Structure 1
Amino acid sequence: MLTELSIRDVVLIEALDLGFGDGLGVLTGETGAGKSILLDALGLALGARGDSGLVRHGATQAVVTATFDPPAPDAPLTALLDDNALEIEPGEPLIIRRIVKADGGSRGFVNNQPASAGLLREMAPHLVEIHGQHDERGLLNPRGHRALLDIFGRTEPGAVSRAWGVLRAAEAELAAARAEIETAARDREWLEHTVGELTTLSPQPGEEETLAETRRSMQRAEKIADDLAAIDEYLDGSDGGLAKLRQAARVLERIAGDHAALGEALAAIDRVVIEGALAEEHLRDARAALSYDPRALEDDEARLFELRAMARKHRVQPDELAALADEMRARLERLDAGEGGVLVLETRVKEAQKDFDAAAAALTTRRLAAAAKLDAAVAGELAPLKLDAARFRTVVAETEEWSAAGKDRVEFEISTNPGAPFAGLTKIASGGELSRFILALKVALAEEGGASTMVFDEIDRGVGGAVASAIGERLARLARTTQLLVVTHSPQVAARGAEHLLIAKSNDGIVTRTGVRTLSEAERREEIARMLSGASITDEARAQAERLLETA
């Protein structure tokens, strides 16, 4: 509920502080007194466009502060504040402040915390409903009719919302699987060729290093083969060094006893022969290790070059070819298995669609029942508002734009004369008729609960007498359950107010100002008399005003 409205330097308002109570509050004043300025100021606090033209001439900025009762902990508004990291202490009033600079630009605050105009607009529907003949954001906007019908009929779309979420998730998963298969299918020929190539090559981890080391060894053996052959000739054979030494040893054996030095010479030769034999053994080992087959070297090099070429082709290291082959085979397997997976996902989507269809159908049934109930409630309000020939209906029809709210399009339609076709509220009703339709609809909807604060801007325009009395009675009834502020030119409506605010313009010869003040009982009587008689208030008008106040 709106409890206070503070306005500084907005158009003709220099400084104004208003307090609001429960029930029906009426705002009256002569034409041009500035009633629209008051609503513009409230709209500014609720996120309306911050036009610098609203700043009072000579002022640097305009400031509007609106104070509301603390939001309930479980209210959607509280969740919205939490989502935007705006902290409101439990039980603390909600204070919205909007500043508009004379040179352009605006700033918003929620309990002294910065808030964008967009956020203020999001908060506005949770705080105040503003209804007028040209307010297409409210009851005249078909986009909001479904939500209004759901509130009226208490048709909670939770089951539909959950089913819709499951359906959308299943559809997304299916679409992703199909896209993956489509991509893989385009690559199937390449995958099959690559897997065949790698399978034929059969690369092994570490194979490239082993082949390279073997190749290096065989290349070294090739280089020293001639040297080893020459050493063989020097050491081995009948003319080799060791053979000559052995022959010398045999000769020395016959004469070694003739002199000690010959014996030592024989011993030395024996040692040399033994070392030579050891050298021959090492040479045999080296020759065996360094031996190579030219064909084997050729095969080794061919394999090595083939591995390296394949690695370059796939832009991996040779040791990664084995893993690449496994990956390619796995992709082919997934492609083959993917079609079966798609079938599973398609079944899941069909089941989710079936569940959504069932939930949406049940919701449609509840909405149709609520629509019939709403139509009857509105019809009961039309006759007292002198709309006897008019008919109202709530159209519930399937739309192609399914959503978490179901499959239904909801629109309120009217027919103002017998035999006339039904159409949208704004298309066939005159200004006076439209205002009464809005009131009838709002009264019917409000009886099932609604916003805590509503503003009706001259909703009684173009009517008078008994119709104005009926409007006043219904506004008073509506105000029993919600705070209601009404800008009115009707004395019958004004007389119903629990609180009466007078908007008046004053001029000191230099500056024109708009002011608002709460009227006493005597002042109320005088204001209603003015509304009845015009500029010249007569005793008869005062008497009639008294009767209106007594019967209100």
Structure 2
Amino acid sequence: MLRSLEIRDMLLIDWLELGFGPGLNVLTGETGAGKSILLDCLGFVLGWRGRADLVRQGATQGEVTAVFDLPPGHPAHAVLAEAGIDVEDDELILRRVNGGDGRKTGYVNDRRVSGEVLRQLSDVLVELHGQHDDRGLLNPRGHRVLLDAFAGLDLGPARKAWAARRDAARDLEEAEAQLAIARGEEEFLRHAVKELDDLSPEIGEEEVLDIRRRSMQAAERIRDDVARALQMLGPQGAEGAMLDANRWLEGAADQAENKLDQPIAALSRAIIELGDAHRGVEDALSALDFDPSALEVTEERLFALRALARKHDVLPDDLAGLADELRGRLEQIDAGDTSIAELRRRRTDADAAYDTLAANLTAARKKAAAKLDQAVSAELAPLKMERAVFHTDITEGEAGPEGRDAVAFTVATNPGAPAGPLDKIASGGELSRFLLALKVSLAHGNDALVMIFDEIDRGVGGATADAVGRRLKKLAGDSQVLVVTHSPQVAALGDEHFRVAKSVHDGMTTSKVVPLAEAERIEEIARMLSGDRITDAATEAARALLAG
């Protein structure tokens, strides 16, 4: 509920503070008195996009503050939570300042917010209805939402089915794209896997082959020198010479009176060491022996490993892992058809589930549409539009999370006349009554929104105006309703009555809004009935209207 509205230095208002009550609040006044200014200021604090020149002439800035009662569970709590704003004592204070330079600053409970946050709050706080309103019932984009609320539809299953359908289609598309890419390189993969399998590389093999190759290359370079050294140490070389020397010395030892004993012993030891050296060199020469073809085979294997590693831009030790990876990609291609078939079955099942739920929604909407049409027709008769035809048109639209129905409210003002959109077919007075009948039919004890009707009774009078007022009164039984009206019949039904008047003081024009007591209400309604000159008859008529 809108509890209060305070306006400072906006348009023709220097300062104004109004307190609104539950039920039907009516605002009356002469044409041009400034009734629309209140709506402009309320729209300003709610973040609506409107006129730019709002600051009162001569003022440095204008300011509007609106205070709402916010009970637990009100949809505004979700908007506030999203914006990170806490609400205490169920009181919501919206304030917006318009600087002289046109800059606008908004606050929610003294926390600065953007105009977008104010507009989001506006969507769940206030509903405006008028002959030129495109935010409420005249906006066909919201007709399906209104019908669904009237029908009490649970859209959760359809939304889940739509998400499952979307996910299944996305997964299938991605899998088909990946399989197409994989099949584009299938020939390369099969050739590469065969090449790797034929070579069958092992981890660490490159290092082993390199060591073996270098060893054989080294052996090839030194073997001739080792062979020559072995020959020089053997019987034809040092060994033969030392044996001959030893034999000659032993033959002369008996006549040398022990002078040759020490040299002979040393030579004997040298012959033994020489034998050890000969055997060692001989063993080394045997170890250096290799098949020249083995070097060729080793080099071919080593070069093949390195060439394949360069080809795939990996290290030689990574070739074995690469083979496994490429083999796995081939297995995915081979299994791709099975996977695609399963994903297609999943998408088909998801489509079928969504189609069933969408069809159920269509059936439920058509059933609710028939009830809504009947309810609106029942409301139109007292409004002197019994010949008018209201129809909820349901056609197939683009599929989405809430089904595939397009909903539009259409009217025909006379039987046999072509039906069309509300704001295209009905005249001003007819449109007002259509909107009121529709709003009464759609209302189901929803007190979350403050409903504002801007001269919705324009163009009607007498019994029709009375019928309009009684339906507004009916709406106000479940929610707060603000009505800007020129109809005395409507004004007489208000729970709270405010008069808007314009005055000139010191050359400055200002508008004032004052709440009316009982006697003042009689005078105002009498003025509305008779004009500037209030007659006794008008006064009595005003009393009669207020008495009901």
State which of 402, 407, 416 in structure 1 corresponds to 2:404: 407
- Name the amino acid aligned to 1:78: H
- Bigger mean CA offset, 416-425 vs 274-283: 274-283
The superposition leaves residues 263-311 of structure 1 with CA deviations (integer Å, 9 ceiling, x where unpaired) of 2222222222222233233334433444444332233223222222222
- Bigger mean CA offset, 12-21 vs 479-488: 12-21
Contact 1:145–1:412 at 8 Å: present in 2 too? yes
- The 3-state SS of whatever aligns with 1:384 is coil
Matched, 1:427 2:424: yes
Q: Which residue of 1 aligns with 2:108?
A: 110
Distance in 2, matches of 1:6 and 1:255, equals 144
Q: Which residue of 2 aligns with 1:462?
A: 459
Q: Which residue of 2 aligns with 1:58?
A: 58
- The 3-state SS of whatever aligns with 2:381 is helix
Distance in 2, matches of 1:153 and 1:182, equals 47
State which of 474, 479, 482 in structure 2 corresponds to 1:482: 479
State which of 500, 515, 528 in structure 1 corresponds to 2:512: 515
The superposition leaves residues 395-422 of structure 1 with CA deviations (integer Å, 9 ceiling, x where unpaired) of 22222x2122112211111111110122
Contact 2:227–2:285 at 8 Å: present in 1 too? no
- Bigger mean CA offset, 290-299 vs 181-190: 290-299
The superposition leaves residues 139-174 of structure 1 with CA deviations (integer Å, 9 ceiling, x where unpaired) of 011111111111111111122122222222222211
Q: Could you say if the C-alpha distance between residues 280 and 42 of structure 1 is closer, same or farther in structure 2, counting changes exceeding 3 Å?
A: farther
- Bigger mean CA offset, 42-51 vs 388-397: 42-51
Matched, 1:46 2:19: no
Q: Could you say if the C-alpha distance between residues 64 and 129 of structure 1 is closer, same or farther in structure 2, counting changes exceeding 3 Å?
A: same
State which of 539, 543, 546 in structure 1 corresponds to 2:536: 539
Q: Could you say if the C-alpha distance between residues 470 and 282 of structure 1 is closer, same or farther in structure 2, counting changes exceeding 3 Å?
A: same
Q: Which residue of 2 aligns with 1:6?
A: 6
Instruction: Write out aligned runs for 1:312-327 (5 A).
Output: 312-327=310-325
- Name the amino acid aligned to 1:380: A
- The 3-state SS of whatever aligns with 2:94 is strand
Q: Could you say if the C-alpha distance between residues 214 and 527 of structure 1 is closer, same or farther in structure 2, counting changes exceeding 3 Å?
A: same
Distance in 2, matches of 1:290 and 1:34, equals 116
Q: What TM-score, normalized by structure 1, do the two folds share?
A: 0.94
Percent identity between matched residues is 53
Q: Could you say if the C-alpha distance between residues 245 and 114 of structure 1 is closer, same or farther in structure 2, counting changes exceeding 3 Å?
A: farther
- Name the amino acid aligned to 1:42: L
Distance in 1, matches of 2:102 and 2:227, equals 101
Contact 1:129–1:451 at 8 Å: present in 2 too? no
Distance in 2, matches of 1:306 and 1:18, equals 93
Instruction: Write out aligned runs for 1:91-130 (5 A).
Output: 91-130=89-128
Q: Could you say if the C-alpha distance between residues 280 and 150 of structure 1 is closer, same or farther in structure 2, counting changes exceeding 3 Å?
A: same
Q: Could you say if the C-alpha distance between residues 215 and 107 of structure 1 is closer, same or farther in structure 2, counting changes exceeding 3 Å?
A: farther
Contact 1:52–1:102 at 8 Å: present in 2 too? no
Q: Which residue of 2 aligns with 1:148?
A: 146
Q: Could you say if the C-alpha distance between residues 550 and 249 of structure 1 is closer, same or farther in structure 2, counting changes exceeding 3 Å?
A: same
Distance in 1, matches of 2:28 and 2:364, equals 42
Q: Which residue of 2 aligns with 1:28?
A: 28
Contact 2:230–2:282 at 8 Å: present in 1 too? no
Contact 2:396–2:405 at 8 Å: present in 1 too? yes
Contact 1:151–1:449 at 8 Å: present in 2 too? no
Distance in 2, matches of 1:286 and 1:511, equals 123
Distance in 2, matches of 1:291 and 1:6, equals 110
- The 3-state SS of whatever aligns with 1:515 is strand
Distance in 2, matches of 1:505 and 1:284, equals 130
Instruction: Write out aligned runs for 1:482-501 (5 A).
Output: 482-501=479-498
- The 3-state SS of whatever aligns with 1:54 is coil
Q: Which residue of 2 aligns with 1:529?
A: 526
Q: Which residue of 2 aligns with 1:338?
A: 336
Matched, 1:18 2:18: yes
Distance in 2, matches of 1:163 and 1:50, equals 40
- Name the amino acid aligned to 2:25: G
- Bigger mean CA offset, 325-334 vs 243-252: 243-252
Matched, 1:310 2:311: no
Q: Which residue of 2 aligns with 1:162?
A: 160
Q: Which residue of 2 aligns with 1:278?
A: 276
Matched, 1:181 2:179: yes
CA displacement at 1:450 relative to structure 2: 6.0
Contact 1:146–1:411 at 8 Å: present in 2 too? yes
Distance in 1, matches of 2:60 and 2:273, equals 113
Distance in 1, matches of 2:396 and 2:121, equals 30
The superposition leaves residues 298-334 of structure 1 with CA deviations (integer Å, 9 ceiling, x where unpaired) of 3322322222222222221121111111111101111
Distance in 2, matches of 1:469 and 1:168, equals 52
- Name the amino acid aligned to 2:4: E
- Name the amino acid aligned to 2:480: Q
Q: Which residue of 1 aligns with 2:390?
A: 392
Distance in 1, matches of 2:150 and 2:246, equals 129
- Name the amino acid aligned to 1:65: T
- The 3-state SS of whatever aligns with 1:459 is coil
- The 3-state SS of whatever aligns with 1:385 is coil
CA displacement at 1:369 relative to structure 2: 1.7
Contact 1:217–1:290 at 8 Å: present in 2 too? no
- The 3-state SS of whatever aligns with 2:356 is helix
Q: Could you say if the C-alpha distance between residues 424 and 412 of structure 1 is closer, same or farther in structure 2, counting changes exceeding 3 Å?
A: same
Q: Could you say if the C-alpha distance between residues 384 and 416 of structure 1 is closer, same or farther in structure 2, counting changes exceeding 3 Å?
A: same
Q: Which residue of 1 aligns with 2:215?
A: 217
- Name the amino acid aligned to 2:542: A
Contact 2:447–2:480 at 8 Å: present in 1 too? no
CA displacement at 1:474 relative to structure 2: 0.6
- Name the amino acid aligned to 2:429: G
Q: Which residue of 2 aligns with 1:417?
A: 414
- The 3-state SS of whatever aligns with 2:512 is strand
- The 3-state SS of whatever aligns with 2:3 is strand
- The 3-state SS of whatever aligns with 2:382 is helix
- The 3-state SS of whatever aligns with 1:53 is coil
Distance in 1, matches of 2:281 and 2:60, equals 106
CA displacement at 1:380 relative to structure 2: 0.5
- The 3-state SS of whatever aligns with 1:249 is helix
Question: How many residues are matched?
Answer: 547
Q: Which residue of 2 aligns with 1:79?
A: 78
CA displacement at 1:522 relative to structure 2: 1.2
Contact 2:72–2:90 at 8 Å: present in 1 too? no
- The 3-state SS of whatever aligns with 1:357 is helix
Distance in 1, matches of 2:113 and 2:176, equals 44
Q: Could you say if the C-alpha distance between residues 448 and 159 of structure 1 is closer, same or farther in structure 2, counting changes exceeding 3 Å?
A: farther
Contact 2:445–2:479 at 8 Å: present in 1 too? no
- Name the amino acid aligned to 2:31: T
Distance in 1, matches of 2:409 and 2:310, equals 71
Instruction: Write out aligned runs for 1:253-272 (5 A).
Output: 253-256=250-253, 258-272=256-270
- Name the amino acid aligned to 1:303: R
- Name the amino acid aligned to 2:485: T
Contact 2:12–2:511 at 8 Å: present in 1 too? yes
Distance in 1, matches of 2:174 and 2:526, equals 73
Q: Could you say if the C-alpha distance between residues 486 and 267 of structure 1 is closer, same or farther in structure 2, counting changes exceeding 3 Å?
A: same
Q: Which residue of 1 aligns with 2:225?
A: 227
Q: Could you say if the C-alpha distance between residues 291 and 370 of structure 1 is closer, same or farther in structure 2, counting changes exceeding 3 Å?
A: same
Q: Which sections of structure 1, spanning at least 5 residues, go unmatched?
A: none
Q: Could you say if the C-alpha distance between residues 277 and 426 of structure 1 is closer, same or farther in structure 2, counting changes exceeding 3 Å?
A: farther
Distance in 2, matches of 1:191 and 1:55, equals 74
